[in-house]
Structure 1
């Protein structure tokens, strides 16, 4: 339901102009209703129908119809007077940089005053501008009305359908260009990624260090116990090692010592690797990986098989994006 916020109206510094907006809004609605009714009455069939069933209405309105331009000019004179007053106020208040900007910005107000059928309906734009201004000042809230929610829902649905089709069309075109041998990959590697190789190495180094520190350090005791348990289980499954226990006197001792030593070595190696990754010393290692992934374009050329694999990967990624774009989110809001 449409309601007028009187508190915002009273507190507004534009109260006089907003009251004029309300008055002009009412006059515009009456004027447009008058224009529509006169256009309908202009049909001979409608005049004959009224003459047969409502002769009093027909006889009372027919003189008004014959002098329609005169009555419409009364409304036009009011609209032009209000237009000139607002223009003068905009010049005095220096709302625009130049005094002659106002009629160009509010062209629909001026053209709507021309008493010709095709121009008269431009007065609808004036209704929309006044309603938008009232909405901006929070005097009227159209967003709570059923008409607004109805049209907003279907407008969003239309825009989503249109944008989805455009995006899918564009992505399909990109896939076609990729399959035809587009230089996109060379541009990405040589012009975008390679000049930023040092930045990528720094970023990956920080990300790996944070992941190792947050994921490993709090759980290193549990991970060490798990590794030792798995190594011990694997060694017990080894046939050659299990034969050591048959050695007289020292066999079981050698077997236990070897199992403990191997488990400790594996756990220490994993521990040292993860500690290195969690520290700043991992930068050289990450930089070597980045250098291998992004070789110097002047000295190394990609193999055809690598190029085809990259094309296949990019196409699969684009297909996944297209599948997500095809999801109709507006259908979830259907009643």
Structure 2
């Protein structure tokens, strides 16, 4: 069962109404229990059982059963009185824009007071509304009750199973459409990827700059030493350069100078390239790479079957192979991405909780 937060109850400044809520909640529960019991008692077999096994109870309850509607009217009178009091308070406090809104908004309270079997169980909605109101104001916390946790767990499990099946069906249908030759690949290329090439270029530019600055700059000296050692080793093993030692007097000096010069030039070139990649100057280079990898639709159309760079000249068959290969690669990539999403959807989180 839930516990009552007395501090929130005191700070709410609605102590009287919450006390009324608790009283009405108790009366509603008692009334619903009596309604359920009397409905079960209506069966002749149940009455015969009580008559044989519990004759004292049978003699006491039989008059109540025959006149149950009169006893129920006692509860109904209390519920209607409380309903009218709350309606009058809502009108006085201006809770709603019009005075007649209250009975329409709380229709279940009003209809539940009708003493017929079909309307009586609307009082369950009144119980739920009172509990929700108390929970909303922090007077009680229904989320900590075992009943709420039980219902919430199986509700989440049911909704997860239901939504997973719907998502899997949608993804299977999407895969089928892609394999069948749906224009979705063309739409992804021309409607999603191409219009966002600038965003992709900016993102790649930032990533390359971060990679160059974080990976190269801290290891610049170690990389320079490594390159110089590799270059010196390659020069020593080169037979043409080794012949420089045969030069009289200056042979070894020329060879050593050449090793230093080549190593220094190579290291400086690599250092300049990495510094450029680590700065904002890499944007034009990345843009050129993206342009080659994902040409604009006009450029792609120029390389499509039947069109060449020169107007009026039909292209040969092999000219369309790269374009077809690009589509096949993109199609395969999309199918694999959908497979990964399907595997994630099939993962049942509620089973882990269980």
Which residue in the other structure is 1:169 paired with? 169
Aligned-pair CA distance for 1:277: 1.1
Q: Does 1:313 align with 2:333?
A: yes
TM-score, with normalisation over the residues of structure 1?
0.88
List runs of 5+ in structure 2 lacking aligned partners: 305-322
Instruction: Give the Cα–Cα distance (whole angstroms) in 1 for the partners of residues 93 and 294 of structure 2.
Output: 61
99-108 vs 317-326, greater mean Cα deviation: 99-108
Aligned-pair CA distance for 1:323: 1.2
- C-alpha contact (below 8 Å) 1:2/1:141 kept by paired residues: yes
Instruction: Give the Cα–Cα distance (whole angstroms) in 1 for the partners of residues 257 and 36 of structure 2.
Output: 102
List runs of 5+ in structure 1 lacking aligned partners: none
Instruction: Give the Cα–Cα distance (whole angstroms) in 2 for the partners of residues 161 and 231 of structure 1.
Output: 63
Greater RCO between the two (CA within 8 Å, min separation 6)? Answer: 1
Which residue in the other structure is 1:153 paired with? 153
Q: Does 1:215 align with 2:235?
A: no
Aligned-pair CA distance for 1:251: 6.4
Instruction: Give the Cα–Cα distance (whole angstroms) in 1 for the partners of residues 231 and 127 of structure 2.
Output: 80
Which residue in the other structure is 1:276 paired with? 276
Instruction: Give the Cα–Cα distance (whole angstroms) in 2 for the partners of residues 30 and 187 of structure 1.
Output: 63
Instruction: Give the Cα–Cα distance (whole angstroms) in 2 for the partners of residues 196 and 176 of structure 1.
Output: 27
Q: Does 1:131 align with 2:131?
A: yes
Report matched runs for 1:1-335 at 5 Å: 1-232=1-232, 238=237, 240=239, 244=243, 247=246, 256-301=256-301, 303-334=323-354
**Cα distance 1:43–1:278, how it changes in 2: closer, same or farther (>3 A)?**
same
RMSD (CA atoms): 2.6
Instruction: Give the Cα–Cα distance (whole angstroms) in 1 for the partners of residues 214 and 300 of structure 2.
Output: 37
Instruction: Give the Cα–Cα distance (whole angstroms) in 2 for the partners of residues 296 and 257 of structure 1.
Output: 49
TM-score, with normalisation over the residues of structure 2?
0.84
SS of the aligned residue for 1:216 comes to: helix
Aligned-pair CA distance for 1:27: 0.8
- C-alpha contact (below 8 Å) 2:235/2:259 kept by paired residues: yes
Aligned-pair CA distance for 1:187: 2.7
Q: State the number of aligned residues.
A: 333
Instruction: Give the Cα–Cα distance (whole angstroms) in 2 for the partners of residues 281 and 25 of structure 1.
Output: 72
- C-alpha contact (below 8 Å) 1:244/1:255 kept by paired residues: no
Instruction: Give the Cα–Cα distance (whole angstroms) in 2 for the partners of residues 252 and 172 of structure 1.
Output: 72
- C-alpha contact (below 8 Å) 2:90/2:96 kept by paired residues: yes
